């Protein structure tokens, strides 16, 4: 007997990124490959206190089954958070998900039939590409520059693919590039997609983690027709292990979402929803976020300074104003998998750019994570990468 897997399961067993992450577990390797928040910043004592309080006050309730849209109090608190982000919304527009990853998965499941066109930024978040592929999407990349998705290319792609089901974007400190889409482009994007009748799925787990520059309103802020589904999460501003994310969308959309949410897991873990709700009542979330951004600002600035000092001048790097990632492109057309392999041989791990493209990858690209490494690791790791780049340049 053998299993005949569905088309949801990727074909083949090899996975270049997974191989790198495995190799990066070697203590000799300095890893800029992961995408993990800094664990020393997790508010362990405050979460423990909130948990004790929840058990004391709501013990039986939190251990019981609950509604698929999520804990009503937490949905109200999230609506208030969205208001601080200039999205004027109410709790009936909020649904809880088990991490924003589940929101991406369920929204994709709601909208994609096999063969449907989905527009994505090129490059974009790897695990979203995997989700869209698993539902049989035909992915079409939209080009980016340092100001995020290019509107001229979006206009072209909307004209070429008027049947596109939706467009997926990570507008703030994008994974993998660290780039942010300007407010003017967000406004234009809503206009263009409205005219084309193509909805937007905005994925914004990093927006709160800004340490420089001006805050830019979410794309949802510019949406007056209920055509933007905005996804966010507590993973980067609190703790990813809690697995609480949310969607902001019209109630009619959320009603359909509820049906698939029930199929997936009935509802998100009730206890964790109450814990976050209690945390939000008792603690100062903006003060906690400030602690995170201060540390990430220091690490990002250090990594950028080391890059500027060590890498040849013709190597491109992005200039993130928040989030966890820097994007690098080495000129000369070297295959990004080969470049990442050479880095690993030099005991430093990066994720090759090839992982993040819907189609053909830009050569010489890779993603660096700075949130999870200390100063010495950043300094030594960047020197190791510089040596690899210099060796390649002299070959
Ligand atoms: N979207 C993006 C762009 C991400 O980078 C991540 C996490 N790496 C997620 C969604 C998923 O985050 P979570 O499920 O923890 O909210």
Here the CATH number for the domain that contains residue 151 is 3.40.640.10
In a domain, 10, yes or no: no
Here the CATH number for the domain that contains residue 390 is 3.90.1150.10
212 and 260 belong to one structural domain: yes
Q: Ligand 1 centroid to 164 CA: how many Å?
A: 23
Q: Ligand 1 centroid to 186 CA: how many Å?
A: 21
pLDDT of residue 17: 66
61 and 116 belong to one structural domain: yes
Q: Which of 37, 96, 101 to mutate to test the pocket of ligand 1 (most atoms within 8 A of CB)?
A: 101
DSSP track, 41-62: GS-HHHHHHHHHHHHHHHHHHH
pLDDT of residue 10: 83
Give dist(CA 129, CA 122) in Å, integer: 10
In a domain, 152, yes or no: yes
Q: Ligand 1 centroid to 60 CA: how many Å?
A: 31
In a domain, 26, yes or no: yes
361 and 329 belong to one structural domain: yes
In a domain, 291, yes or no: yes
Domain boundary among 265, 282, 299: 282
Q: How many structural domains are present in the chain?
A: 2
Q: What's the pLDDT tens digit per position in 72-113? A: 999 999 999 999 999 999 999 999 999 999 999 999 999 999
Atom of ligand 1 nearest to the CA of 103: 14
How large is the greatest C-alpha to C-alpha distance in the chain, in angstroms?
A: 67
Domain boundary among 250, 282, 314: 282
In the sheet where 365-369 sits, what is the strand order? 316-317, 325-329, 365-369, 351-352
In a domain, 1, yes or no: no
pLDDT of residue 386: 97
pLDDT of residue 201: 98
Atom of ligand 1 nearest to the CA of 104: 10
52 and 38 belong to one structural domain: no
In a domain, 6, yes or no: no
Evaluate: CB of 232 within 6 angstroms of ligand 1: no
Q: What's the pLDDT tens digit per position in 207-250? A: 999 999 999 999 999 999 999 999 999 999 999 999 999 999 99
For the chain, which ranges sit under pLDDT 50?
394
272 and 296 belong to one structural domain: no
pLDDT of residue 96: 98
Mean pLDDT over all residues of the chain? 95
Evaluate: CB of 203 within 6 angstroms of ligand 1: yes
227 and 353 belong to one structural domain: no
pLDDT of residue 101: 97
Domain boundary among 234, 256, 282: 282
298 and 268 belong to one structural domain: no
253 and 128 belong to one structural domain: yes
pLDDT of residue 223: 97
83 and 169 belong to one structural domain: yes
Q: What's the pLDDT tens digit per position in 25-41? A: 788 999 999 889 999 99
Please name the helix (run of DSSP H) or strand (run of DSSP E) that holds residue 368, with its range, or none: strand 365-369
Contact 202, 230 (CB under 8 A): yes
pLDDT of residue 59: 96
Interface ipTM above 0.95 = yes
In a domain, 251, yes or no: yes
Evaluate: CB of 371 within 6 angstroms of ligand 1: no
Strands 94-97 and 30-31 turn out to be: unpaired
212 and 305 belong to one structural domain: no
236 and 189 belong to one structural domain: yes
Evaluate: CB of 353 within 6 angstroms of ligand 1: no
Length of the chain: 395
Q: Which of 107, 120, 125, 132 to mutate to test the pocket of ligand 1 (most atoms within 8 A of CB)?
A: 125
In a domain, 8, yes or no: no
154 and 211 belong to one structural domain: yes
The domain containing residue 34 runs over which residues?
16-42+287-394
For ligand 1, atom 5, which residue shows the shortest CA distance?
175
Contact 363, 336 (CB under 8 A): yes
């Amino acid at each position: 007997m053998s299993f005949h897997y569905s088309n949801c399961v990727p074909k083949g067993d090899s996975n270049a990124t997974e191989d790198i992450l495995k190799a990066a577990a070697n203590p000799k390797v300095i890893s800029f490959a992961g995408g993990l928040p800094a664990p020393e910043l997790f508010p362990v004592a405050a979460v423990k206190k909130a948990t004790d309080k929840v058990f004391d006050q709501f013990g039986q309730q939190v251990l019981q089954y609950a509604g698929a849209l999520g804990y009503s109090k937490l949905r109200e608190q999230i609506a208030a958070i969205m208001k601080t982000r200039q999205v004027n919304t109410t709790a009936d527009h909020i649904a809880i998900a088990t991490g924003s990853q589940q929101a991406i998965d369920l929204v994709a499941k709601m909208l994609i039939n096999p063969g449907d066109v989905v527009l994505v930024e090129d490059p974009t978040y790897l695990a979203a590409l995997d989700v869209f592929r698993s539902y049989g999407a035909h992915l079409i990349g939209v080009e980016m520059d340092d100001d995020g998705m290019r509107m001229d290319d979006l206009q072209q792609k909307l004209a070429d693919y008027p049947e596109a089901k939706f467009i997926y974007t990570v507008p703030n400190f994008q994974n993998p590039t660290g780039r942010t889409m300007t407010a003017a482009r967000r406004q234009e994007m809503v206009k263009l997609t409205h005219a084309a009748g193509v909805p937007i799925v905005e994925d914004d787990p990093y927006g709160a983690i800004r340490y420089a520059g001006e805050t830019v309103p979410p794309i949802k802020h510019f949406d007056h027709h209920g055509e933007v589904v905005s996804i966010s999460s507590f993973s980067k501003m609190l703790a990813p292990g809690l697995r609480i994310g949310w969607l902001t969308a019209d109630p009619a959309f959320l009603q359909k979402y509820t049906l698939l949410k029930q199929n997936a897991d009935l509802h998100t873990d009730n206890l964790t929803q109450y814990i976050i709700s209690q945390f939000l009542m008792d603690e100062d979330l903006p003060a906690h976020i400030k602690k995170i951004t201060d540390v990430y600002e220091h690490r990002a600035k250090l990594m950028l300074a080391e890059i500027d000092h060590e890498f040849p001048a013709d190597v491109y790097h992005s200039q993130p104003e928040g989030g966890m990632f820097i994007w690098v492109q080495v000129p000369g057309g070297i295959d990004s998998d080969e470049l990442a392999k050479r880095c690993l041989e030099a005991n430093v791990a990066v994720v090759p750019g090839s992982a993040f493209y819907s189609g053909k990858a830009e050569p010489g690209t890779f993603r660096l994570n700075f949130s999870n490494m200390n100063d010495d690791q950043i300094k030594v790791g960047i020197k190791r990468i510089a040596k690899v780049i210099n060796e390649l340049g002299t070959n």
